[in-house]
Structure formats: structure tokens, C-alpha cells
């Protein structure tokens, strides 16, 4: 019997879409092409030997009962480790109010699953993280967008979005070293944002994958300023994305429901890997590892900054990140960076066009440069190639839009 599965799909299946809505493979067939779109730790920052030794020790010490099911919230020593690190960053969190998740993405999904009904409104940053859009689309959210400037979210725009009826369910933000702009809100701007959320009774969901990757000082999470912030963290950028190890730190009133939502999805996380992470991070190793990673990222950030200053034509602007992985570059004259991408690829350089970071994929004169994965010499060469194309494009006045 042959089944036509297209007739059996639930209506919600149509809302499952890939987060990354652009096929870059045809643009990356030449191995000499420099890809400036990366947003992951480089090989140099993946602690293979440390994790392997930690896993060996964990397996050597296990008793058979460890291979049974475990409590859904996660390995208690891991939650204690996370709580201690958050306290050092100014956020008082009890381990009982931490839920271990399969990466930050599952954390976003669990929060959305818990809070959103079809048609509920979510306030999002524009431009913003496309993985968040992917989750909220599935739950049939409606978007209210607020722009990001050099100091983060624009408070006046946020106030307008929050002061609507029906009220938004929550405001989702990557407040520290934002994806894609790299911007971090100033302390005054952060306090104003949280005050607005309290005034209008709207929850704040903080996604903080890059928060520990500062160059000079830790700006701290929003959660340090307000215990009602729902905080989502991950080891994907500080250790390795393949671990799929994240967490949600939520107000006590939400924890029971969050745990139930997690249990319904996958019962529990990986008991062995959770113990491996605890063992790997012991004795101050994680702090030393992050110091080395920050130094490497700082060197690459400086290389990009210097190359942009040398290679970009007049009128091109870019953000000044103080940590994380990204620069956000904006061209004058409304040039559509999606349309310009094939020409850049032909010149040997590929970026992520700004359209990807808007829910509606609108034409954008901006693009994202990720500097984490490439050595300084490749970053410099890629930006030089990019500058050559942009000089010609700006001279030709190619505009965005159809």
C-alpha cells in the first residue's frame, strides 16, 4: 500500500521551516572562497582532549544505575555549576530554578510552548536571531518588531510595541553581543527596557549564548537586574555546540510547568554528558579556557575592524561589538545585499545577507560578518575582496527592492 503522506500531515506541519532560509552551497563550491558567515567556535576553541578525558573518567566511575532514567530537571551538580557561574555575573539563581535543555534552541521552544497560544503576540528585535523566528512561527505567533541601534533596543519603539492591545506575551531579546548586530545595550538602556516591561506587564525572555565572550569586561545579563527575566543559556559557544547542553533559569512559579513540558518532549537530558561537562569544567578549567578563547576572538575582532577601516568605501557603516562573534555592516544607497551576494561569491567571499535576520526576508542593505571561525589573515583577505566589490556596487548605485 502506498500512502500519500501529504494528505496525512497536520496543519501545523506547514509551519515547520528551516531556520536558515538560504542555500549557500552553490556559492561555496570553490575551496578558495572565504566564508564570513560563521557563528560557531573555531576548531582551536573546541576542547576535544579535555572532554574526552572527562568522559573517560566519568565512564570509569559509573555504576549501572546511572544508565537508568534520571530526574527531568537535570544533573544536580551541573545545575549548581550553572547557578554559581550566573551568580558570579550578578544573577542570583537557585539550582532548583534551572532546567537543563538540549541546547538553547530547546529552551526557546519550551518557553514558547509554555506561554504561546496561536495568535499571541511576541516582541522581537529587528534584525534578530532567525532560530527564534523558527520556533515562534511554529506556535503561530504574531510579531511586533523593535529596531536595534548602536546602544541596543530602542526604548521608544519598545514602549510602543508593549503598549498595545492585546498585550504581547513576552519580549524575546539577545541583549548581550546581539545576533546579528553584535550590539550590547548600555546599562541605562537595559534598565529602561526592564522598567518598560514591568510597566506594561510583559515578560522578558533573554537568550544569552554569547554573554561570557566579552573582550574587556562582562556587561552581565539582564537577569542580573530583574529576577523575573526568563534566562536561556548554553554551552554551545563556551564549550562545543555538539554537546547540545543548555538551560533555562526561570521564576519559581514557572519551573513545574517547564519541567512538565521538557518531560513531554524527551523525558530527560543525557545523564552521561551532563556529568562529563561538570567534570570538564572542574578546578577552574572553564575560566582558563574562556580566557584563551576571548584572547583569540579579540585578535580576530581587531583584524576585522582594521580591515573594514582600510577596505570599505565611504558611507559604509558597521557596529562596534565588545564581545561575541559578529559585526553588522550597512551600505549606503539602499543596496540589496542579497542581490549582491552572487557577485561577492564570484570574487571569492560570502557573507550572510541581512534579509535572513528579518521574519519577512525583506530586502536589506546590511549583512553580517562572523569572525569567530577564521584566522586573522583570512578575515583580512575576505574583507579586502568584499571591499573591491562594494566599491563597484556603490559606484553603480544598485538599490534594494524589486
- Whether 190 is in a domain gets the answer yes
- Asked whether residue 315 falls in the same domain as residue 246, the answer is no
Q: Which of 352, 329, 348 is nearest to 388 (CA)?
A: 348
Q: What SS3 class is residue 177?
A: coil
> Does residue 317 lie in a domain region?
yes
Strand residues in 174-262 grouped as ranges (E): 203-207, 230-234, 246-249
**Distance from C-alpha of 11 to C-alpha of 34, rounded to nearest angstrom:** 40
Share of the chain above pLDDT 70, in %: 98
Residue 17 has pLDDT above 60, yes or no: yes
The reply to whether omega before 125 is within 30° of 0 (cis) is no
Q: Which residues contact 53 (CB under 8 A, 6 or more apart)?
A: 280
Number of domains forming the structure of the chain: 2
Q: How far apart are CA 17 and CA 94, in angstroms?
A: 36
Domain finish residue from 246, 280, 314: 280
Read off the pLDDT of residues 259-318 as tens digits, 9 standing for 90 and up: 999 999 999 999 999 999 999 999 999 999 999 999 999 999 999 999 999 999 999 999
From 248, 280, 312, give the residue that closes a domain: 280
Q: Position of cell 526592564?
A: 194
User: Both 176 and 323 in a single domain?
Assistant: no
What pLDDT score was predicted for residue 176?
98
Residue pair 363/355 in contact by the 8 Å Cβ criterion: yes
Cell numbers linked to 26: 552553490
Q: What is the CATH number of the domain that holds 314?
A: 3.90.1150.10
Mean pLDDT, residues 385-390 taken together? 97
CA–CA separation, 164 vs 396, rounded Å? 43
pLDDT tens by residue, 203-237: 999 999 999 999 999 999 999 999 999 999 999 99
The answer on 218 and 92 residing in a single domain is: yes
- Say whether both 271 and 377 belong to one domain: no
User: Reduced to 3 states, what is the DSSP secondary structure of residue 247?
Assistant: strand
Q: What is the pLDDT of residues 359-374, one digit of tens each?
A: 999 999 999 999 999 9
**Structural domain of residue 316, as residue ranges?**
20-39+287-394
pLDDT at 401: 44
Shared domain check, 260 and 307: no
Report the pLDDT averaged over residues 390-399: 78
- Stronger pLDDT, 178 or 332, i.e. the higher one: 178
In 3D space, the residue among 276, 214, 267 whose CA is nearest the CA of residue 245 turns out to be 276
What's the pLDDT band for 113 if we cut at 50, 70, 90?
A: very high
CA–CA separation, 273 and 350 (whole Å): 35
**Of 189, 132, 123, 179, the residue nearest 354 (C-alpha):** 179
The pLDDT value recorded for residue 226 is 98
Does 59 have pLDDT greater than 50? yes
- Region 146-173: mean pLDDT is 96
pLDDT of the residue at 1? 64
> Is 144 part of any domain?
yes
Last residue of some domain: 280, 306, 325? 280
Cell 558611507 sits on residue: 315
Q: What is the CATH number of the domain that holds 198?
A: 3.40.640.10
CA 387 to chain centre: 27
Amino acid at each position: 500500500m502506498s500512502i500519500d503522506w501529504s494528505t496525512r500531515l497536520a496543519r501545523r506541519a506547514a509551519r515547520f521551516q528551516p531556520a536558515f532560509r538560504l542555500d549557500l552551497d552553490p556559492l561555496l563550491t570553490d575551496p578558495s572562497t572565504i566564508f564570513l558567515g560563521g557563528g560557531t567556535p573555531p576548531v582551536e576553541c573546541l576542547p576535544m582532549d579535555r572532554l574526552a578525558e572527562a568522559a573517560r573518567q566519568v565512564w570509569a566511575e559509573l555504576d549501572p544505575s546511572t544508565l537508568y532514567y534520571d530526574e527531568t530537571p537535570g544533573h544536580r551538580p551541573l545545575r549548581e555549576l550553572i547557578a554559581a557561574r550566573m551568580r558570579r555575573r550578578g544573577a542570583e539563581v537557585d539550582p532548583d530554578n534551572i532546567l537543563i535543555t538540549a541546547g538553547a534552541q530547546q529552551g526557546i521552544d519550551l518557553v514558547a510552548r509554555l506561554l504561546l497560544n496561536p495568535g499571541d503576540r511576541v516582541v522581537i528585535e529587528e534584525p534578530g536571531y532567525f532560530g527564534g523566528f523558527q520556533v515562534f512561527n511554529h506556535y503561530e505567533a504574531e510579531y511586533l518588531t523593535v529596531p536595534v541601534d548602536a546602544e541596543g533596543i530602542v526604548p521608544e519603539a519598545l514602549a510602543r510595541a508593549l503598549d498595545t492591545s492585546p498585550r504581547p506575551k513576552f519580549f524575546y531579546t539577545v541583549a548581550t553581543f546581539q545576533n546579528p548586530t553584535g550590539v550590547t545595550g548600555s546599562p541605562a538602556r537595559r534598565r529602561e527596557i526592564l522598567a518598560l516591561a514591568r510597566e506594561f506587564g510583559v515578560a522578558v525572555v533573554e537568550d544569552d549564548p554569547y554573554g561570557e565572550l566579552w573582550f574587556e569586561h562582562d556587561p552581565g545579563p539582564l537577569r542580573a537586574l530583574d529576577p523575573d527575566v526568563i534566562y536561556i543559556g548554553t554551552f554551545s559557544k563556551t564549550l562545543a555546540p555538539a554537546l547540545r547542553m543548555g538551560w533555562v533559569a526561570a521564576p519559581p512559579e514557572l519551573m513545574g510547568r517547564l519541567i512538565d513540558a521538557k518531560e513531554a518532549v524527551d523525558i530527560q537530558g543525557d545523564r552521561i554528558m551532563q556529568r562529563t561537562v561538570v567534570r570538564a569544567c572542574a578546578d577552574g578549567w572553564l575560566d582558563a579556557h574562556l580566557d584563551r578563547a576571548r584572547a583569540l576572538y579579540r585578535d580576530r575582532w581587531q583584524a576585522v575592524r582594521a580591515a573594514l577601516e582600510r577596505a570599505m568605501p565611504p558611507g559604509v557603516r558597521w557596529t562596534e561589538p565588545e564581545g561575541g562573534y559578529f559585526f553588522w555592516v550597512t551600505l549606503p544607497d539602499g543596496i540589496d545585499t542579497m542581490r549582491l551576494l552572487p557577485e561577492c561569491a564570484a570574487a571569492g567571499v560570502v557573507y550572510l545577507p541581512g534579509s535572513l535576520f528579518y521574519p519577512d526576508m525583506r530586502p536589506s542593505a546590511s549583512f553580517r560578518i562572523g569572525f569567530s571561525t577564521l584566522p586573522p589573515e583570512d578575515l583580512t583577505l575576505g574583507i579586502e575582496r568584499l571591499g573591491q566589490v562594494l566599491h563597484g556596487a556603490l559606484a553603480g548605485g544598485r538599490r534594494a527592492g524589486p
